[in-house]
Structure 1
Amino acid sequence: MAQNCRTKLNILVTGTPGAGKTTMSPLLADVAQLRHVNVGDVVKEKNLYDGWDENLKCNFIKEDLVCTR
């Protein structure tokens, strides 16, 4: 059986638009000594979305593609 050599966890912060994810996530990453990745930025940069929700003012993310990039 192969052993997992990872020493740090991934933490995914989710919530509704305007909840403070973008503000708090980098602070959490700094305190926990983790690398911060803004998934929304990655989605936009790599076009990993397939539409726009006018009510929520956000993209429909292609989750299967985000997980493999």
Structure 2
Amino acid sequence: MAQNGSVKKSRPNILVTKTPGTSKTTTSSALAEATQLRPIIVEDLVKEKNLHDGWDDQLDCYLINADLVFL
């Protein structure tokens, strides 16, 4: 446990971002396989946990509420 009472991470977080439809999932899956890290697909998490502020028809994606995702 870290000094401030939080749990110290032993593995890094790698965040892959880009606009919808640009192969983030494919790239992240390859990276996870090469590094033995566990991928978390934020889009799936946002849908499952309702962590969004609605749908953007123009971009064809959810409007992610970062305050809810990164609590």
TM-score, length-normalised on structure 2?
0.86
| Secondary structure of residue in 2 paired with 1:51 | strand
Aligned pairs, how many? 68
What residue ranges of structure 1 are gaps of 5+ in the alignment? Answer: none
Structure 1 residue 5: Cα displacement: 3.0
Structure 1 residue 30: Cα displacement: 1.2
What is the Cα-based RMSD across aligned positions, in Å? 1.6
| Secondary structure of residue in 2 paired with 1:23 | helix
Moved over 2 A (4+): none
Structure 1 match to 2:8: 5
What residue ranges of structure 2 are gaps of 5+ in the alignment? Answer: none
Counterpart code for 2:68: L
Structure 1 residue 45: Cα displacement: 0.3
Counterparts of 1:17 and 1:46, CA distance in 2: 19
**Equivalent residue for 2:26, pick from 23, 28, 34:** 23
